[in-house]
Amino acid sequence: MDSNIQNNTKLIKDKAKELGFISCGISKADFLEEEAPRLEKWLNQNLNGKMAYMERNFDKRLDPRLLVPDSKSVISLLFNYYTNKKQEDNQSPKVSTYAFGEDYHFVIKRKLKELMNYIKSEIGDVGGRVFVDSAPIMEKAWASKSGLGWIGKNTNLISKKTGSFFFIAEVIVDLELEYDSPTTDHCGSCTKCIDACPTEALIAPYQIDGSKCISYLTIELKDQIPNEFKDKMDNWAFGCDVCQTVCPWNRFANEHEEESFTPKEELLKMTKNEWSEITEEVFDKVFKNSAIKRTKFDGLKRNIKFLKS
């Protein structure tokens, strides 16, 4: 292999580590042949619920060269957000761990831009784009393809080293690099995630009905939550961590070291009463720069009301 390619690959991986990413893997930018029929079938079965955006940009979702012209490499990156900290009132509505600190879109985007600027300054005129949950990219598929983990029975990416409490991000560049190989599946005969899902959204190993997922119901769905989910929400008001919490591989999850993800004390200390009586003013103060803003005040109130009714 060309020594330039090897050097550039090392340069990028070293910088990614310096920026706090726990893993970096690289794949050839190409059409995702295996994923194409799976995605088509999933959409045809309406398992995306009302997430109409999943149906748009079908071709772009499967081919990064349509997102970034002349792209040659997809750099996949993982960023840890795991914390042992918990909400103090165990009767209060629950919030997914990833939303305890500053909105990850902002934090990780800053790091990706720094990585992209570094690539340009060290390697030269490299064209590319950075993504964190912000474009039609099959992030888990690319991360899996580049050896960062396997897509488990709960449909999340799982790593033997760190479990699954991490964000996935990409840098797609028109630069040829050294490509990594996929890893193998290590779910074995375990079905803990399927057995534990409160709404039975995991309809089979490696298959999720998005329209039943608590994360979908509390964040993506803009209508009323269907009555069939009464008493099945496990007290989740924003997102859900159940299929990750029960996964045996998450015994290897380590506390993150990102200051921006430090859990907001006000959030952790909120009591059941404070949640149910939350005002827009409190919402704006406690959840400033938080991913919880995605569901908006009215959405959060709807979720809390649904849990109480």
Q: 82: phi > 0 → left, psi -120 to 50 → alpha, else beta; which?
A: beta
288 and 129 Cβ atoms separated by less than 8 Å: no
- DSSP conformation class of 76: E
Cα first-last separation, the chain: 63
d(CA 249, CA 242): 13
Q: Does residue 102 contact residue 290 with C-beta atoms inside 8 Å?
A: yes
Residues facing residue 170 across a β-bridge: 76, 131
- Bridge partners, 172 (sequence order): 74, 129
CA separation for the pair 229, 3 (Å, rounded): 57
Q: Which residue range forms the structural domain that includes residue 24?
A: 1-309
Give the tokens for residue 225: 């939550």
Report the chain (309 residues): mean pLDDT per 10 consecutive residues. Answer: 90 98 98 89 85 82 93 98 97 97 96 98 95 90 98 98 97 98 97 98 97 97 96 97 98 97 96 96 94 95 93
**C-alpha–C-alpha distance, residues 154 and 207, integer Å:** 7
Which stretches of 87-202 are DSSP H helices? 104-123, 139-145, 192-196
Residue whose tokens read 């399927």: 194
The pLDDT of residue 40 is 87
Residue 70 — left, alpha, or beta (φ > 0 → left; ψ -120 to 50 → alpha)?
left
Q: Which residues contact 225 (CB under 8 A, 6 or more apart)?
A: 217, 218, 233, 302, 303, 306
Residue 165 near residue 82, CB atoms below 8 Å: yes
188, amino acid identity: G
H runs (alpha helix) in 46-145: 58-62, 104-123, 139-145
Per-residue pLDDT at 1: 62
Place of tokens 């298959």: 207
Q: How many domains does the chain have?
A: 1
Spot the catalytic one: 30, 63, 89, 133. 133
Report pLDDT for 58. 85
Angle 130-135-138 from CA coordinates, rounded to 5°: 95
In the annotation, is 241 catalytic? Answer: no
